[in-house]
Amino acid sequence: MARTSRSPDVARPTPPPRRGTTLTSHRLPRLPGQVAFPEQKSAVPSPVRLDGFNSAPAGEVTRALLTCCRSLRWVHRLADHRPYPDLGALLAAADEAAYDLTPADLAEALAGESLTLLPDGAYSAAHTALSAAHAAYESRFGHVFVICLDEFTPGEALDQVLVGIRSRLANDPEEERVVTADELRRLARGRLTRLVRQFAHERETPIFGARNSPNVPD
């Protein structure tokens, strides 16, 4: 019988370790004054302090809040529920108060609103178009047109107002009441945010009880 030759045992090369979740990820050492790139985060704005808003006299807060929304029910509800722990809680309370406005409250708030101002340098044809659009809207619904433009630049304001009026003219009165109430809520929210931030950053400059603010008894 023929003998089968056997090759000598040869050690097989060890396969390289598999890369994947079984290997610990490489992290750069944390150095003094330096953060590894993967851990970099964008700067988080510091929270707005409400100390001044919470502690100001009720009459001054009432006059200031009326610049955000002319509904006395909305204003007194926010003023009476101080102190607020942070801006988020204040805005949540403002939204809730806005959702609870009655038709009479809404009419009161709308009576204090003015027409949307055009940016400086707007051509005369724009004024004519905007005036005609506002007149058509007021003739149909009996109150001024309101829209929140916080998300748009001043240069986009005219187009947004004209588009908004023309599209909302197709609403029936009840549909438009709902839309108007929500636009007032958004307007009040933006105004309140700016009011509180200004008060927090300029505590030495009194903005409560400013000139031309509504005269409301304490």
More confident residue, 197 or 16: 197
Mean pLDDT value across the chain? 77
What is the average per-residue pLDDT within 138-152? Answer: 94
Q: Note the pLDDT of residue 17.
A: 47
Q: How far apart are CA 92 and CA 112, in angstroms?
A: 23
Q: Note the pLDDT of residue 153.
A: 87
Q: Note the pLDDT of residue 122.
A: 65
- In the numeric block, the tokens 């003739």 are attached to 139
* Reported pTM: 0.69
What is the average per-residue pLDDT within 60-84? Answer: 95
Q: How far apart are the first and last CA of the chain?
A: 119
Query: What is the amino acid identity at position 165?
Result: I
- The answer, yes or no, to whether residue 213 has pLDDT greater than 70, is no
More confident residue, 136 or 155: 136
Closest CA to 61 of 78, 85, 48: 78
What digits encode the pLDDT tens for the residues 163-197? 999 999 999 999 999 999 999 999 999 999 999 98
Q: Note the pLDDT of residue 5.
A: 47
Q: Note the pLDDT of residue 14.
A: 52
- The answer, yes or no, to whether residue 2 has pLDDT greater than 60, is no
Q: Which of 72-86, 116-130, 172-186 has the lowest mean pLDDT?
A: 116-130
